[in-house]
Amino acid sequence: MTHFIIFLVVVMCIDVLTVLTCQDPGNVEHSHKVIAGNRFIVGSTVQFVCNKGYILSGSSLLTCYNRDSATPKWNERLPKCTPEKYEPCRNPGAASTSEQSSEKAFYQAGETLSFSCHSGYELQGHGSIYCIPGHPSQWNSTPPACRALTKFVNERRLDVVNMDDSMDGTNIALAVFIPTAIILVVVLGIYVYFAKIQGKTIRMPTSLPPYNNMTEESAFDNPVYESGVSTDVMSMQDVDSQNTSVLS
């Protein structure tokens, strides 16, 4: 009889606990939960905390309650943990002697950017930098530098010296040619000036005679040319005839 009574008491307690207990709310992805009080009985709470890199959407605290209901319930729905959105890192830029693995204005948090040097240069420091999430996000280091190799530097210096020598030769040639050309222009200008003052003209030699353009008609239009007598002889004949008439 005693065992039977004990059994009934246990069953009744279980029924009471079942009625006064909420169901397990479950888990939220990318989070862990903290339970306060006896396991899910009325009045107990469950708090959800998102992992690093995620932000909570909804209520983080759930409470088990029983208000005029046969079965206790949680006062809120399960929250969600979504990836946190960080401000991107700006392009850090690169030296003229290096190249980036990718070229864009912004890089997302957590993204890696690598660098390489041009031929004749060697990398100084780490070849990659990392965008650290934050508000704002920042690069974990400055871009690496590229140092010129010793052999490459000597070759560059030799090229510069040779270029300077060639430029010196060109400058000397120009320094001789330009003054000579100026002197020739001045002398030619003086000659033309004095030639105009003295009434002389500069004629270019030709292979044709000066009267080659004269036509037959223009040659016989002159009466003096046709008679073969000059005007001076004709005027002297007129004077002699006048004197003869006076004497007579």
51 pLDDT band, cuts 50/70/90, is very high
Strands 61-65 and 73-74: antiparallel
User: Once rounded to an integer, what is the mean pLDDT over residues 154-164?
Assistant: 61
Query: Looking at residue 137, what is its pLDDT?
Result: 92
Sign of CA dihedral 133, 90, 146, 102: positive
Q: What is the pLDDT of residues 139-153, one digit of tens each?
A: 999 999 999 988 655
Asked whether the domain spanning 89-151 has the same topology as the one spanning 2-83, the reply is yes
* CB distance 55 to 81 below 8 Å: yes
120 pLDDT band, cuts 50/70/90, is very high
Average pLDDT, the chain: 75
Residues 6+ apart with CB under 8 A from 224: 230, 231
Topology annotation, domain 2-83: Complement Module; domain 1 (2.10.70)
CA–CA dist 173, 181 (Å, integer): 12
Query: Looking at residue 194, what is its pLDDT?
Result: 82
* Token reading at 167: 């430029």
Measured from the Cβ of residue 102, the count of other Cβ atoms closer than 10 Å reads 10
Q: What is the pLDDT of residues 160-186, one digit of tens each?
A: 556 666 666 677 777 788 888 899 899
Question: Would the pLDDT of 203 be above 90?
Answer: no
* CATH node for 89-151: 2.10.70.10
Would you call 55 helix, strand, or coil by DSSP? Answer: strand
CA–CA dist 159, 85 (Å, integer): 52
Q: What is the pLDDT of residues 212-248, one digit of tens each?
A: 444 444 444 544 444 444 444 444 555 455 444 444 4
Query: Looking at residue 158, what is its pLDDT?
Result: 59
38 pLDDT band, cuts 50/70/90, is confident
Sorted by where each begins, the domain ranges of the chain are 2-83, 89-151
